Amino acid sequence: MNNFAYVRPNDIDSALNLIRTRPKARFLAGGTNLLDLWKMGVEQPETVIDISRLGLTDIAPRPDGTGLRIGALARNSDLAEHSLVLNQYPILSRALLAGASPQLRNAATVGGNLMQRTRCPYFYDPAFPSCNKRKPGSGCGALNGYNRMHAILGQSDECIATNPSDMSVALAVLDAQIRVLGPGGERVIPISEFHRLPGDRPELDTTLQPNELITAVDLPPMADTKHAVYLKVRDRSLYAFALVSVAAALTIENGSIASARIALGGVAHKPWRVPAAEILIKGVSPDHAAFDMVADRLLQGAHAYRYNQYKLALARKSVIRALSVAAAST
C-alpha cells in the first residue's frame, strides 16, 4: 500500500471541504470495498477521509411521517434487523442478509454498499493488463476471457462486469431515492438513475458527481409486504455473489395482479428493471403463463458469452420462481 494521509472530520461540511481540496482523496466508511481495492493496488488514495464520526446512522420515518429514511452510515446488519425494516420492508432485510457474511455486514454501510465497485477479477487484479474500468482504453479482458460471472444484459464491448450488490436490487423495486450533498448543495437521485450501464465510460459506476457524499436513502411506503420475495442463486449458501438474483414485489387484488415490480441482480452493470415488463401483467392472474411472459420481456436482448451461457436459462427460471413464490406468499 502507498503512503497516505488520514483525517477524520467531525461534520459533513469539513468532510466535503477535505474531499474538494485534497488530491486523490477517498471517503472511508466501513472500508469493506475500498480496502480490498487498495490492497490490490487498484486504488491508491493519497488522503483517506474517515467519515465514521458524521452521524448519518439513523433509521427512522421520513420527516413527513411516511416511508423510511436510512442514514448512509447505517450498518447493513443494523438495517437488516431494524423493526421498521422487518415490518415494512422485509424484502430489503432478506436482500441484506443474503449478502456477504455476518462479519462484513457488521462493518459495511448503506452508502458504501451503493458505491461498491463491480467484482470482476480482471478489474481487481492489476496483473491483468486489459481492463477499461481500471485503465480506460486498455480493452476488456473478460470479453474473451473467463466470464462465467459476467453480464448478459446492458453490457458493452467496453465492459461486461456486473454490479455485486444485493441491497441495491431490493432498493430498485422499492423505488428508493438517494440523497447526496456536494458543492452544488443537496440533490436526490432515483435509484434507477444512480448506477450506470458501462457504455463507452465503464470507469464510471454511478452518476454521483465529483466531491459528492451520500447522506441518506429514502424509501416510499410499501403498500403490500406479503407478496414480496428476494431470491438469490449462488455457488454456495454463504459469502458468495449472485449468479442471478431477483427482487419481486406484487400487489394482488381480487385474484389479479394490481401492480408488479421486478429487478434482477447478477446480470448487468446495475440492478436490471424493465417497467414495460411489469405493465404486461397488470390486471392478469398470477400464473405461470403471465410470469413466463414477464421473463421474456425482462431478458429481451440478453447476450451471453463463452462461459456464462447458463445465465440465460437460469435468469429466466429465477424470474418465474421468484414471481411464483411472491404470488403464493401470505
Whole-number percent of the chain with pLDDT over 90: 97
| pLDDT tier for residue 17 given thresholds of 50, 70 and 90 | very high
List, for residues 40-69, the tens digit of each pLDDT value.
999 999 999 999 999 999 999 999 999 999
Give domain limits for the chain: 5-53, 228-328
pLDDT digits (tens, 9 = 90+) for 206-243: 999 999 999 999 999 998 899 999 999 999 988 899 99
Q: Which fold has domain 5-53?
A: 3.30.43
Residue 329 has pLDDT above 90, yes or no: no
DSSP assigned state of 75: B
Task: Quote the pLDDT of residue 9.
Answer: 98
- State how far the Cα of 210 lies from the Cα of 11, in Å rounded to an integer: 19
Determine the pLDDT at residue 223.
84
Residues 153 and 102: beta-carbon distance below 8 Å: no
Q: Which residues contact 278 (CB under 8 A, 6 or more apart)?
A: 259, 260, 261, 262, 294
The region, left, alpha or beta by phi > 0 then psi within -120 to 50, assigned to residue 237 is alpha
| Contacts of 171 by beta carbon, 8 Å cutoff, 6+ apart | 92, 114, 191, 217, 219, 271
| 75/57 Cα distance (integer angstroms) | 8
Residue 30 has a pLDDT of 95
Q: Give the whole-angstrom CA distance, residue 113 versus residue 167.
A: 7
CATH superfamily of 228-328: CO dehydrogenase flavoprotein, C-terminal domain (3.30.390.50)
Is 80 exceeded by the pLDDT of residue 90?
yes
Q: Pinpoint the alpha helices (H) of the chain.
A: 12-21, 34-40, 76-81, 83-88, 90-97, 102-107, 110-115, 121-124, 166-173, 191-194, 275-280, 288-298, 310-328
Contact, 77 vs 106, CB < 8 A? Answer: yes
Q: Per-residue pLDDT for 72 more than 80?
A: yes
Q: Do the domains 5-53 and 228-328 sit in the same CATH topology, yes or no? A: no
Q: Is the pLDDT at 330 greater than 80, yes or no?
A: no
Residue 37 has pLDDT above 90, yes or no: yes
Long-range (24+ apart) CB contacts under 8 A made by 49-52 are 49/7, 49/8, 49/9, 49/15, 49/18, 49/19, 49/22, 49/25, 50/6, 50/7, 50/8, 50/9, 51/9, 51/15, 51/27, 51/213, 52/8, 52/28
Report CA 167 to chain centroid distance, whole Å.
Answer: 5
Categorize the per-residue pLDDT at 83 as very low, low, confident or very high, splitting at 50, 70 and 90: very high
CB 272 within 8 A of CB 116: no
Reduced to 3 DSSP states, what percent helix, strand and coil does the chain have, rounded to the nearest 5? 30, 20, 50
Q: Which three cell numbers stand for residue 4?
A: 497516505
**How would residue 76 be classed by pLDDT, with cut points 50, 70 and 90?**
very high
Mean pLDDT of the chain: 97
Residue 13 in this model has a pLDDT that exceeds 80: yes
Residue 1 has what pLDDT?
Answer: 78
**For the residues 315-319, what does the mean pLDDT come to?**
98
